[in-house]
Amino acid sequence: MKDTKSPQRKSYDLAVIGAGSAGFSAAITAAETGARVALIGAGTIGGTCVNVGCVPSKALIRAVESLHHTLAAARFDGIEAEARVFHWAATVAQKQALVEKLRAAKYADVLPRHENVDYVEGRATFDDDGRLTVDGSLFPAAKVVIATGSRPHVPAIPGIEDVDTLDSTTALELSALPASMIVLGAGYIGVELAQLFARAGVAVTLVSRRGVLPEAEPEVSEALAGYLGDEGIRVVRANGYDRISNGDNHITLHLSDGQALTSERLVLATGRVPNSDGLNLPAAGVAVDARDGIQTDPQMRTGNQNIWAAGDVTGRDQFVYMAAYGAKIAARNAVAGEARSYDNATMPWVVFSDPQVAGVGFSEAQARAAGHEVLTSVLPLDAVPRALGARDTRGLIKLVAEAGSKRLLGAQIMAPEGADSIQTAAMALKAGLTYEELGDTIMPYLTTVEGLKLAAQTFEKDVAALSCCAG
């Protein structure tokens, strides 16, 4: 990996600030056009996803799924199974080994393959004249892409600064499991962490003000809250938080209704904050929004004609694949003179709960707010043969379509194997299919994705009256 540290800086066509997924995507994309690129990183290379986000969380989620599967084996007659955690530190060490392997394979070892990319280790910022600097020295670059990512949000609750809290990073580094845990926040991070630790044997309380997965369809949110409760997770809806206090080996979260929740550890899962501070952005003519996300136009350009931004630092669509997607657009527009636009209309998203939750396009409420007259179809999973064969009918599929044209506007799937099916719905939306066309699409029998076909048929048919594969 090339590392440029000398004060005699060479001149670059593009400087990319941030060596995570968005930064690597921007640097490699720009290099492929022939541009001379500096990738500027501070701290551990690879960013959130590989180090403290997607990879470690999904590895541990898979690990504890094996525990749940043994408990669920009794749904099959004549089957008994048993599993337990006997060495959590070993499980966490195995997770960390995977992180380090992928960090090397997908990040550190990738750079030497691109001759016109230099990795520069240092802290980038803009001086008071709006010029790019690294560790205080001027850094000559014609164009800049900011891709500095995000960090866990710390809510402003009195007493929180006096408590040893965990976040989505440090919770996944615990080498010993606590007896009890409060997870504050029930978005996708909170839900995944709550179920992960509950399945590992921790007594978990999941607390939020807006309910479980508040951005999902209400049918999905309500059902998932019930499934989490079935696994022993205490789900609490709070009007507000008064304060947090320390006790002897426990932490207490005091709710505004007078209720007090106590546990050994407290995990903050209240969202993420863009890493836009510390860059002296106003001096460079770069504006941020009310949540500190860097403001860009559809071409990912900021208010400075020579600076673009991509990924979590924009506060938009904080998923690793969208960070990489936006960074490619920013890089090509910056160095190749193109005018590509960011388009998230058919962006799929996934929550790795069990059952998994995935969606694409508009929810019913979003479609109505956008001015559409809508039709909806809700198919319970007990109408899907795959779920019946697996003896696991937790979940549902909801489709949203435009009345009159019958064009699909959105889909959400909640099913144990639902995540891999959402891309079919995304392609249907991208192609502009109607629910009739989706319902006529040939899909393999005894698969979860067949549920999309059945849900599409449910707009106008009673699928219970159809034979297998009919329609």
Alpha helices in 184-217 (DSSP H): 188-199
Torsion of CA 245, 242, 165, 226, to 10 degrees: 120
**pLDDT tens digits for 71-104?**
889 999 999 999 999 999 999 999 999 999 999 9
CATH class of the region 349-461? alpha beta
Distance CA 51, CA 16 (A): 20
What was the pLDDT predicted at 469?
A: 59
3-state secondary structure 246-275: EECCEEEEEECCCCEEEECEEEECCCEEEC
Tell me which residues of the chain have a pLDDT lower than 70: 1-9, 465-471
Distance CA 319, CA 242 (A): 32
What was the pLDDT predicted at 52?
A: 85
Beta bridge partners of 138: 133
Domain spanning 12-50+93-152+273-335: which superfamily? FAD/NAD(P)-binding domain (3.50.50.60)
What was the pLDDT predicted at 5?
A: 46
Burial of 314 (0-12, 13-18, 19+ CB in 10 A): buried
Q: How many CB atoms lie within 10 A of CB 291?
A: 13
Q: Position of tokens 């022939």? A: 34
Closest CA to 13 of 28, 34, 42: 34
Tell me whether the CATH fold assigned to 12-50+93-152+273-335 matches the one assigned to 160-270.
yes
- pLDDT above 90 coverage of the chain, percent: 91
Domain spans of the chain, in order of start:
12-50+93-152+273-335, 160-270, 349-461
Architecture of domain 160-270 in CATH? 3-Layer(bba) Sandwich (3.50)
What was the pLDDT predicted at 6?
A: 44
